[in-house]
Chain A
Amino acid sequence: MSVPLTLLGLLDREPSHGYDLKRDYDAYFGRGKPIPFGQVYATLSRLARDGMATMGEAEPGGGPDRKRYAITPAGRHEVETWLAAPVAPEPHLQTVLFAKVVLALMLGRPAEDYLDSQRRSHLQRMRELTELKQAGGLVDVLLADHGLFHLEADLRWIDTTAARLDALAQEINSTTAERAAGGAR
């Protein structure tokens, strides 16, 4: 998640105080991890410096949060470009789990048990997200769905990998054996 572009996007709605941006950021994107005020103001200063936003005069009351920020045409263009660009569909092949499975097979450890325990922890998380969906509003439903679909994709990989463990072990071990034989020559 790009914090500067997200804040800039929030600013695209209407000129706002840092406080308003933080409140909305936390409500929609923070998800239990509120953005620090300091980060909001530092980001807004950088956006102003780079010509993406303008900083208004301090309003009566004093303090940094009495300044109102507004997006510039350059900032609006930046937001539009960012929104229109697809996120890189990363294959995520080198995940920690992948590394663990391969290592477990190389070391003759119980890869299937590791996959089972991963599957249980994935399903537990899916249960929590399903609960969240049933208790929450539509924003929660959309966010939980995003998480659920990703976890489901991981689970499919876990299932397929579990079904291929024997073949995978054979391949990894024969490669290891070939290397050992090559090294002995």
Chain B
Amino acid sequence: MTEYETATGAARSNPEVSAATGTVLVNEDVIEARDVVRSFGATPALRGASLRVRRGEILAIMGPSGSGKSTLLHCLAGILTPDSGEIWFAGKRLDSLGETQRSRLRRDRFGFVFQFGQLVPELTAAENVALPLLLNGTRRIHALAEASFWFDRLDLDGLQGRRSGELSGGQAQRVALARGLVAQPEVLFADEPTGSLDSLTGEHVMSLLTATARAEGTTVILVTHEARVAAYADREVMVRDGRVSYGADDRSAA
């Protein structure tokens, strides 16, 4: 066990409740970026970004366009690997794992919601939601039954048989949210989840997303440039010029 693992392990089972939101926070870092540098060709996106996220926390990563906030999210989720620096998840290095292991980790322990739902157009809404379970090897009948539960929970009843072209933007995004949550991930990564929605529909999605995550104890890492969306989170960090300019290790707001 590394020194880091010992430190995070010792801090476990010390929950506290966020005064602002009622979220139960376990005093344990679930994910951490340490001095992460990542470039695309000659263009630097991250120049030494550090960040710690507690288990059960809903964190908003904010920042102007091109600040590196989405790159940071992709590094934290193991979609991208840093050029230098480290990513830790649940006490283990994530960035040094091979692509196959990272892919399995993403499938088994992470959930994702993107700006444009990115549903598979050939599949029905129910099959889209069941997809992470089917990929995990769950039997189809069980996967669809589990998906059906999420349709009820996210106000989507009656839409199970529709394909993505037959859903409104808000419905499609809620289906994407159901897909992100169906396998009960430890961390849900959401990149501008309301970016393609009007303000009221976006609020509905955010309200469902945060209420469900809090009920399930899911950690949420949310990238947004909208303050009204960030206001659903327990706290925010600000990314500027590839660095976390404030809030990297801030616990006071939560």
Shortest distance between the CB of A155 and any CB in chain B (Å)? 5
Q: Judge whether A126 and B228 touch: CB under 8 Å.
A: yes
Q: Judge whether B238 and A119 touch: CB under 8 Å.
A: yes
B231 at interface by CB-CB < 8 Å: yes
A58 at interface by CB-CB < 8 Å: no
Interface residues on A, range: 10 to 19
What A residues does B233 contact at CB under 8 A? Answer: 127
Q: Judge whether A124 and B227 touch: CB under 8 Å.
A: no
Interface membership of chain A positions 97-127, coded 1 if the CB is closer than 8 angstroms to chain B and 0 otherwise: 0000000000000000000100110111011
Interface membership of chain B positions 5-17, coded 1 if the CB is closer than 8 angstroms to chain A and 0 otherwise: 0000000000000
A55 at interface by CB-CB < 8 Å: no
Shortest distance between the CB of A113 and any CB in chain B (Å)? 9
Specify which of B21, B227, B238, B253 is in contact with A152 (CB 8 Å cutoff).
B227
Q: Judge whether B227 and A128 touch: CB under 8 Å.
A: no
Of all chain A residues, the one with the shortest Cβ separation from B236 is A123
Of all chain B residues, the one with the shortest Cβ separation from A117 is B246
Q: Judge whether B246 and A148 touch: CB under 8 Å.
A: no
Stretch of A61-69, A86-94, A129-137 at the chain-chain interface: A129-137
What A residues does B232 contact at CB under 8 A? Answer: 127, 130
Q: Judge whether A126 and B227 touch: CB under 8 Å.
A: yes
What B residues does A130 contact at CB under 8 A? Answer: 228, 231-232
What B residues does A128 contact at CB under 8 A? Answer: 20
A26 at interface by CB-CB < 8 Å: no
Specify which of B64, B207, B228, B246 is in contact with A134 (CB 8 Å cutoff).
B207
Q: Judge whether A148 and B207 touch: CB under 8 Å.
A: no
Q: Judge whether B227 and A123 touch: CB under 8 Å.
A: yes
B245 at interface by CB-CB < 8 Å: yes
Q: Judge whether B246 and A129 touch: CB under 8 Å.
A: no
Interface residues of B (CB under 8 A from A): 20-21, 64, 207, 211, 227-228, 230-233, 236, 238, 245-247, 253
Sorted nearest first, the 7 A-B pairs with minimum C-beta distance are: A126-B231, A130-B231, A155-B227, A127-B231, A152-B227, A127-B20, A116-B246
